[in-house]
Each structure stands twice: as structure tokens, then as C-alpha cells.
Amino acid sequence: MLQPPHQSLQAAVVPAQRPPAREQAGPWHSEAVCRRDEAGLFFAPSKEPTAARLAREQAAKRVCARCPVLVQCREHALLQPEPYGVWGGLTAAERRVVLARRRRREATTADPVRRIA
């Protein structure tokens, strides 16, 4: 059975955090470049200093940038939503911004009165 990217995550995740939803990952995961990288690159250890976190996230994003399934991974993380780690080249904070924009856009297009304003 294929497992999604970041498969060795269990050891890298703080116990209070949930690991990524393996069952929901699509067939795209077998092509993910991150399957060949260290899961710790994509998920923060507990109490990671800010400078180290930023450097690690940038390194993870460089891996994502060369991934053929970046878009599928990103959509998976947005639809779950995955609360931790770098998925599809976006951090958890960046994914929250994307989701908030999508919700605002959907609310605007669903409410014709707001569209006029």
C-alpha cells in the first residue's frame, strides 16, 4: 500500500499534533519529491527557534518547487485542511491565508448584493 509523502512524520511531529491524513492522500503521493527527503524538513520540531524554522521552511519549499505534484499536494492540504507542516510549497500559516481568501471570494460570489458594493 502506498503512503503519502512525509511518511516518516510520526517521529517528527509533536505528540499534541496530529500526523497528516494518510488515508485521504490521493494517488499523486507516489510521485511526490518529498518521499525521498527527510520528513523533519517539512514539519517543525517542538520549540524550534524562529530562525531555524524559517530556514527549514525555505529548504522544504525548494523541494516543493521541483515537485511534479505540487498542485495536487497543495489542494490536498487545503481540502483536509492540514494544520501543520509545509505542503505544496505553503506553510500552515500561508494555507490559512489562502483558505480565508477562498472563503471571502466564495461569500462575495454567493451574495449578489455584496458583489455590487
The three cell numbers of residue 31 are 510521485
Using the predicted structure, report yes or no on whether residue 16 has a pLDDT greater than 70: no
Residue percentage of the chain with pLDDT more than 70: 72
Half-sphere exposure of 17 (CA within 13 A, CB side): 17
Q: What are phi and psi of 67, to 5 degrees?
A: -90, 130
Task: Using DSSP, state whether 27 is helix, strand or coil.
Answer: helix
Domain spans, the chain: 9-116
pLDDT band at 5; cut points 50, 70, 90? low
**Helical residues (DSSP H) of 37-91, grouped into ranges:** 50-65, 70-79
Report the alpha-carbon distance of residue 20 to residue 4 in Å, rounded. 9
Using the predicted structure, report yes or no on whether residue 55 has a pLDDT greater than 80: yes
pTM given for the model: 0.69
